[in-house]
Structure 1
Amino acid sequence: MNYTGGDIKRLGERLRNIKGKHISDVDLDLLQAHRLSFTDPLFKTFKELTQFKSTIQRSAIIAFRLKRITTIINKVIRKPDMQLNRMWDIAGIRIIFSDEVSARKMVNLIMQKYEVRGKVRNYFEDPKKIGYKAFHVYITEPESGKVVEVQIRTRDTHNWATLLEITDVLYNTRLKEEGYENNPTLGRFHELVSSEKELEPEEADFLYKTLDKYDFITKLAETFRKNSSIVKKQWQEVNTKDRYFLIELSSDSVPKLSSYKDYEKAEIDYFNAYKKDEGALIVLTSVHKPSFEQISIAYANYILSYHRFIKDVQEIIKVLALEKLEERKFKEFRKIFRLYENIQANNIINILIERDDIIIRFEGKALSLESNSKISSKKKKEIRKTVETGIRQMGRNHRQFMEDIKETMSNGSKWNWRTKAFLKKHEDRVTKRLKSVDLKFD
């Protein structure tokens, strides 16, 4: 399809005027043609950046995507001054390093190798109000003159960003697109989660109350458990030569993953899926040397089978529980301790969910494990050792927490009898849970 920059500018104006609704087939085809015009520049830049990032950190994850049609339309509507023909982030590459030092090295390398459009956006030094941190660099692909956006994150800041997007999926918010103001409570919650400083008591209390109000941990854990075996079974069908992945997230938060050797076929399927359901969350991506772990990290907000937050938030909850004891707010302590217990139970399951070669089924109180290949005696021993080591570590941490509770309580003038009985009951229950994981192999 032949078109000019003026044609695309006028297309953006039409999309803005109709608020993205009832788009004509002609305009939709034009928008798709404009998206696809970034394909070759994106492929070339991705190949180059893959080589560059490996000189800094071979284990860094790199992925690319063309911006989703829905997101392009929403951005044009949301930003009245945005001209579609000058939208710089239609082609996007994301690189995830383990640390900020490596991320900064990558930014400096890109600035040496490419023509950079505008200033580097350093959200590490100047985070968005909601807590977003990353480097955004806009570079010109020399042959086509097309602009490619490069997002450079650390594992920690990427985990935060995907948690924000998971929240949007589970609670029907638009925090990623609209920011803090879309939902001030969840906005502040994510701002605090992104903070690297020790939280003030008021901040930790707010975090807990938000977790409680939205039943956040339970909803996350139930979604992850539901999806873990589904996505792993889909991944087991992936051909080793497939490099492109279409991930569709339905309204009930169940992902569908399809893989392709041919990018053109993948784009046709993406476009057809969009036309079938314009509101669906659908992304077409490629990951260098793809593995289930890499795609689960890079697109945790689509895969919805695991997130580190459930593990990380436990330490904040423990500190807050001890503070409530010191203040002799026993009723609040008991509520917080129940959340701690919920997290503890989910972390047992996460020891297994983290493995990409094992599918988990729940059979009563037992966990039944299956694999795409026969689970050999050697693998059984390895799995049991991993689980036992994880549970022993959790047990040690739990016992230390209980010792901290007893010490805090003994410093008070008098034990609260109801809290004492509550702790005895729950300590027995958590300890029993830690010891009772029964593994069955299929």
Structure 2
Amino acid sequence: MTLDIKTTFKDIEESDVNQETLLSFSISKGAITKSGKFIRSYMEELKSPGIRTVSEEEFREALLVLKQYRENHIPYLRFFSSLLESKLNRLQIFEQSIVSSRSKRLESIANKLVVRKKMRLAQMDDVVGIRVTLPNISILNQFLYDNADCEIVNSECVFDDFHTTNYILEPKEDGYRGVHQIFKCKTDENSYVKLEMQIRTKIQHEWATVVEILGSLKNVSFKAGEGDKKYLHFLVLSSVLFSIEEGAATVAAYAELTPAEVCARLNQLDKELQVIEMLRRFNSIPSPKNNVEAKYYLIQLDLNTHETTILPYNDEHDANEDYVKLEQIYQGSDQFDVVLVSVDDVNKIEEAYPNYFLDSNDFISRYNTLLMKYS
């Protein structure tokens, strides 16, 4: 009988794992690479009949190695978060910033290995990640180019050859803007783990949030370029409008349009699609707030009732266990969304993850203001 993949992922997610201390990384690169190959091969072989090169036992063992590998990132994520907080405080912008972090689920990692066939597991940049949202482009640039005194760059535990991809200087074709930086945290003199930091302005965050919300409402991944091309066109044009407001580069294909032309096209599309009216109609009803400071928060959105529930956790194992259980329950349903996150302040959860509250009010307000300004 073929292994039940979903049950296997669930079992592995819920199994205990020993946390490693900072600068003590116990799994060799060879073991990580081998496990990634086994996971990819096993999942690919499930889709077609033929000779099995990876046994169920080898697949399970590979998942256990993957789980240990992911869990061993957590101390580095916490350490990196403390460096980030120190930098934000030194620049006196911590109170204006929103910081959140997450670790990628085992199933998501495995699926990415299948899609990215040439990627080795040890090369994956986003096993864990952190995001900082800043108030405006000026402060983002201040943060981005503060390297001489930067706590992160100057840390003895972080290699200084970090990689930056700036989607603000060159926005993606779909309108996405932000800065992605890949850092390498030392585990010993020669080894390291990768961490991804995403940096956005509030305007860029509002746009990215609406992409997620529209995707939830229309049950399609606009983020992945799927769905009605007219909605995708609306999203790109709204990104162009927001770029104009920030005095930043716009999507190359629309660079020749004047602000008034952008507004005219947006007005025409919105009359047909009623995007703004649809967004305005849907806001979730948050459950009574439990303002308990915790290490992790499980956010659950019910698209049937438009209710959002937040559960706090201090134990990572308990949080992950409940996360997996909910994903199992809601598997195959497009009416529920759930995510496990960490934020610097419980009161900033709605700002950090407005898409889980169907909250597009900031986007709508800015969109309408800019239409009046530039039309």
TM-score, normalization: structure 2? 0.72
State which of 341, 345, 350 in structure 2 corresponds to 1:289.
345
**CA apart distance, 1:244:** 1.5
Of 85, 88, 98, which aligns to 1:53? Answer: 88
1:139 aligns with 183
Question: C-alpha distance in 2, partners of 1:140/1:87?
Answer: 12
Measured on the aligned residues, the alpha-carbon RMSD in Å equals 2.9
**In the comparison of the two structures, how many residue pairs are matched?**
306
In structure 2, the partner of 1:168 is: 215
Would you say the 8 A contact 1:159–1:307 is kept in 2? no
Return the alpha-carbon distance in structure 2 between the equivalents of residues 135 and 257 of structure 1: 28
- Tell me the equivalent position of 2:52: none
Question: Does the C-alpha gap of structure 1 residues 101 and 184 become closer, same or farther in structure 2, counting only changes over 3 Å?
Answer: same
Question: Following TM superposition, by how much is the alpha carbon of 1:307 offset from its aligned partner in structure 2, in angstroms?
Answer: 3.0
3-state secondary structure, aligned to 1:149: strand
Q: Does 1:35 align with 2:70?
A: yes
1:124-159 Cα offsets, whole Å, 9 max, x none, are 111111121211111122237211111111111111
* Conserved 8 A contact 2:88-2:94: yes
Q: Identity rate of aligned residues, in percent? A: 25
Once residues 207 and 70 of structure 1 are traced to their aligned partners in structure 2, the CA distance between those partners, rounded to angstroms, is 38
Asked whether 1:307 is paired with 2:361, we answer yes
TM-aligned CA distance change 1:254 to 1:76, over 3 Å: farther
Give the secondary structure class of the aligned counterpart of 1:129.
Answer: coil
SS of the residue corresponding to residue 81 of structure 1 reads: coil
Following superposition, the deviation at residue 201 of structure 1 comes to: 4.7
* Whole-angstrom CA distance in 2 between matches of 1:214 and 1:283: 29
Task: Report the Cα distance in structure 2 between the residues aligned to 1:37 and 1:275, rounded to whole angstroms.
Answer: 25
Farther off after superposition, 156-165 or 304-313: 304-313
The residue aligned with 1:370 is none
* Unpaired stretches in structure 2, ≥5 consecutive residues: 1-16, 18-25, 48-55, 246-257
Gaps of at least 5 residues in structure 1 are 324-442
Relative to structure 1, is the Cα distance of residues 223 and 33 closer, same or farther in structure 2, using a 3 angstrom cutoff?
farther
Matches within 5 A, 1:170-185: 170-176=217-223, 178-179=224-225, 183-185=228-230
**1:220-239 to 2 correspondence within 5 Å?**
220-224=279-283, 227=284, 230-231=285-286, 233-235=287-289, 237-239=290-292
Letter in 2 for 1:10: F
d(CA) in 1 for partners of 2:63, 2:230: 36
Decide which of 132, 151, 155 is 1:95's aligned counterpart.
132
Q: Distance in 2 between matches of 1:29 and 1:50?
A: 32
Aligned positions of 1:187-198 closer than 5 A: 187-195=232-240, 196-197=243-244
Paired residue type of 1:48: L
CA distance in 2, matches of 1:170, 1:28: 33
1:382-424 alpha-carbon deviations (Å, 9 max, x no partner): xxxxxxxxxxxxxxxxxxxxxxxxxxxxxxxxxxxxxxxxxxx
Structure 1 pair 63–120 and aligned structure 2 pair: CA distance change class (3 A): same
The secondary structure found in structure 2 opposite 1:120 is strand
Q: Does the residue aligned with 1:102 lie in a helix, a strand or coil?
A: helix
Report the AA paired with residue 113 of structure 2: V
Output the amino acid matched with 2:87: F
The 8 Å contact of residues 68 and 283 in structure 1, kept in 2 or not, is answered as no
Match runs of 1:239-254 below 5 Å: 239=292, 241-252=293-304, 254=307
Equivalent positions of 1:340-355 (< 5 A) are: none
Cα distance in structure 1, aligned partners of 2:330 and 2:69? 20
Question: Residue 212 in 1 paired to residue 250 in 2?
Answer: no
CA contact (8 A) 2:39 2:110 kept: no
Greater relative CO, 1 or 2 (CA 8 Å, sep 6+): 2
8 Å contact from structure 1 (residues 12, 83) kept in 2: no
Which residue in the other structure is 1:158 paired with?
205
Q: Residue type matched to 2:207 in 1?
A: W
Q: Distance in 2 between matches of 1:9 and 1:251?
A: 37
Q: State the distance in 2 between where 1:301 and 1:182 align.
A: 18
Label 1:220 to 1:32 Cα distance change in 2 as closer, same or farther (>3 A).
Answer: farther
Aligned residue identity for 2:205: H
1:152 counterpart SS class: strand
User: Partners of 2:177 and 2:111 in 1: how far apart?
Assistant: 22
1:76 lines up with 2:128 in the alignment: no
Partner of 1:263: 316
Alignment map for 1:122-133 (pairs within 5 Å): 122-133=166-177
